[in-house]
Structure 1
Amino acid sequence: SCCFRTGAIARVVDGVEGVRLAVREEIQKGATQIKIMASGGVASPTDPIANTQYSEDEIRAIVDEAEAANTYVMAHAYTGRAIARAVRCGVRTIEHGNLVDEAAAMLMRERGAFVVPTLVTYDALAKHGAEFGMPADSIAK
């Protein structure tokens, strides 16, 4: 189901018109850039890391709306497949990028995209995740 509760840090949105509206609303509320989930995540209990999220049309619409507001889109993405897909659609920065491959890195270079590695987070999760209550499935990821 698309009923995952993300709290105040995120929202679940579907469809091109839905993502356009969401970006416009977030910009109106003061967002200075837009972050999307372009792949599954470590902390997510239901999304395998290798999965991609949002259709390419949805990502392009998000990028279009951000550019209309003179800002950019960053994407949570781990795998080369997810990274390349996001960059092809106009995403400017990749957050994490732990599993980037050479082809995705070259595409990032060609398109002038950046990566924001967060390796310290994964080191801390591996060392201390269990003691802070992180589920075993997430620690394994």
Structure 2
Amino acid sequence: MIGERLLADPAATDALGAELAAALRPGAVVLLLGDLGAGKTALARAIIRTLMGDPAFEVPSPTFALVQPYEAPIGAVLHADLYRLGDPREIDELGLLGDPGAIVLVEWPERAPELFGAATLVIALTIPPGGEGRVVSLTEPLKSA
């Protein structure tokens, strides 16, 4: 699963979301990087819908709420969008890492760099030249010993 691939269309994004959801375990912290329109929310939605066991499950963007919680069969899932975070110190108030058993998906993690130390998976999405599809790169962050 680690590596780079082209997501040619929304169905490919949904398939990757399902693949990732099957691999996630309680306590996972997934960081989603990419410019506006790169597909971070679409991928997060696909992951959450799979974790909820409902491909039609309504997954609103957490842009204004900052954090949207879900109770999936596997346990708590938190979907955060830090784009509107005013100060990195506000991250503590969001409680993203307060439940060690929650699966946490974070869009715009660059706004709170300390999250990179807790990450179990980093996903970078880019728009390729020509704008067709998305390139996704999945990496496991290095952990200091």
| TM > 0.5 fold call | no
Larger helix share, 1 or 2: 1
| TM-score normalized with structure 1 length | 0.33
Larger strand share, 1 or 2: 2
| TM-score normalized with structure 2 length | 0.33
Larger Rg: 1
